[in-house]
Structure 1
């Protein structure tokens, strides 16, 4: 079984390495910067993640010239996905910063450091809530005032704005709510506007297929006798397909995986124990077919070029069909003929939920294709039950999986 697993891993590894060697990536110069004199230069902006804030940016022109720009160096820049940034002086900040322009129009909507601002009548005004406390009947009461509602009503001080008062009062400080409000306002006034994040999806979705080997283990949960139990086979194939939500607009390091896995186990439970007055041995064959539904949240902890390392955790839902043959127990108390008993002494839960942890490596072959390797562990609490003779024990079922996969 170990030889088969080694061959399987070797073939999968060779396939993935070959695929990565033949994969090609082309640089697309869809970004640009606007210099202080208004000159627009197209090129590539180097970035590890699609983020909403920059203190500086590394820019490579179409001719290959590499430059680093800070807010004092340029007027604005745009990413290939539509995000647009300007240099502005933020209230309470003495230095220029890059702010993201969510919408442009007669009243521009900006975002910087998870805060929202309006460019209104040549002023930059923060949209904010004010938190305070007061004393009522001898008790301290926390009070929250949506100061931004008044600012929005002031900026939309016309007939269309008046008609949107209810919508303004229900608007939350979020990209979605503010963009929806300003879109309604501009459409009402027949004014031109542009949403710069319309091309940026809330998240991207990919199909992932992976396979590898699973590693089985038993861990005692409770027992009324010191009987030794072990599994004959501890390595078996594991397969999984699923969906990966990634590159979230506001959290580019996060990934959410939803999958369906399959694991077939044809195994034997072995008992070999020297008890106080006799030796107990036994074997019972069983077959177990499990469908797994893992749900995991992962965080990219490292990214360099096309390489990523991520870690995460979640829950796995198990649905198992379990069949056991008639087992055989041998009770040897030193007599010439040990007592042999045929019985069933193993069982397993048909449903279960296990916490899981994983660590993975991911290599980007192209804009839509990634190869990855994952090491995952699941811990099913009190999942298997053994009851030879009058002894009873329940065991945790521990599963590790090393898989190789492709993301499309």
Structure 2
């Protein structure tokens, strides 16, 4: 009888050990985003009770950190903490499950990146490996070390030893030199785990395959610009002003946004054009003469800016961002009708001459700051508006008889566009 009980205990212990030595399985119907009998994908949550509910996880963008989950199903919105859920999945391929971290005490939502014989997961910029028997963090940190009796901060990479400890056997050993040079981050860790599992002929799933590293969207837009001028090198008695201040612009370009690592940052490359026509009025006076002049300016320009934006507020339906750009300005200024009147105070005689007043100094570089917002339209299209300000130093030189001054030009633009 004792032998039978011993055998049963060993069988139970072996089964338990076998279960413990397996990482969590994220395949099959339980973690699928497609409801049974349907072809339409949907977000889902798995309650702590084991019940699976399909609906929508309310999120602003491709988030990777969820302290809690706002979930809407059948018109009812519910807030879940990690203790309330076994996990949840999104239609973009992301999967999260509740777990206590190696150095933690409370459950958190851990993002699964690769699952299989080795599981790679992430939480708030920290990475973890699990092979079913051990669950450890991949750590990179700065340590203070003594160099020539002086404390020096040095970047250390304990994650290298951890990776070598997990990637065992021949398939791991042949990658030791690659691991020694491995950078700390999503792509590097995913790549090395994939290579190892493929070499070992072990099945795995990659849970980021439908989340692009970066999204690329063409953009097109139109706008109008208010131009003003301010003196740089000035004769105090020479006054210049523009008659009409309004110009027009348009652009086409491409936007790179929703970076997987830095979702709030985006960058754009545009090719823009600008049209502006105005009349310059210039004058100065002295005790002997009063001089006035007018001239028509017609300008066209091609502007190629490269900009960087940071989203101050980023939601699924709308976004508010602040940006900076710099680019090249290729302008062509044509002048016509330059007329100068000289009225001599002593005899009240007037001399009229046809001479040019404006010389375009044509600076090539232009910095810009901008504030913008966009709103989601039907499909993936977004409508956006931007307020843009820039200054172009040394843009004009105005000359009137024996007086001259250099002016900078300021641009305040309002632009409207569509992102496809």
Structure-2-length-normalised TM-score: 0.86
Partner of 1:126: 137
Equivalent position SS for 1:350: coil
Deviation at 1:277, TM superposition (A): 3.5
1:293 maps to 2:313: no
User: C-alpha distance in 2, partners of 1:167/1:221?
Assistant: 57
Distance 2:61 2:292 in 1: 58
For 2:262, the equivalent position in structure 1 comes to: 251
Which of 357, 365, 372 is matched with 2:369 structurally? 357
Gap runs ≥5 in structure 1: 1-27
1:17 equivalent in structure 2 = none
Q: Is the Cα–Cα contact under 8 Å of residues 327 and 344 in structure 1 kept in the other structure?
A: yes
Tell me whether 1:273 sits opposite 2:284 in the alignment. Answer: yes
Q: 1:393 aligns with which of 371, 380, 405?
A: 405
TM-superposed deviation, 1:122: 3.6
Note if contact 1:284-1:325 (Cα within 8 Å) is conserved in structure 2: yes
Q: Quick one: structure 1 residues 48 and 204, their matched pair in 2 at CA, closer, same or farther if it must change by over 3 Å?
A: same
Which runs of 4 or more aligned residues in structure 1 lie more than 4 Å from their structure 2 counterparts after TM superposition?
Answer: none
Quote the offset at 1:292 in angstroms.
Answer: 0.8
Name the CA shift for 1:251/1:130 in 2 (closer, same or farther; >3 Å).
Answer: closer
Shift of 1:326: 5.6
2:223 maps to 1:219: no
Aligned counterpart, 1:36: 48
Shift of 1:194: 1.0
Alpha carbons of structure 1 residues 373 and 145: separation in structure 2 relative to 1, 3 Å: closer
1:159 match: secondary structure: helix
Report the secondary structure of 2:178's partner residue: helix
> 2:181 & 2:147 partners in 1: Cα distance?
27
Which of 116, 124, 139 is the matching residue for 1:113? 124
Q: Residue deviations 1:106-165, cap 9 Å, x none? A: 111111111111113443211112432333333333333211111000001111001111
Q: Deviations over 1:42-99 (max 9, x none)?
A: 11101112111000011112x3332211100111111110011111111332211111
- Shift, 1:303, TM fit: 4.5
* Aligned-partner Cα distance in 2 for 1:303–1:114: 20
Q: Is the 8 A contact 2:252 2:272 kept in 1?
A: yes
Matched, 1:50 2:53: no
In the alignment, is the contact (CA less than 8 A) between 1:352 and 1:383 conserved in 2?
A: no
Of the two structures, which has the highest relative contact order with CA contacts closer than 8 Å and spacing of 6 or more? 1
Larger Rg: 2
After TM superposition, the structure 1 = structure 2 runs for residues 87-102 of structure 1, keeping only pairs within 5 Å, are 87-102=98-113
1:338 aligns with 2:350: yes
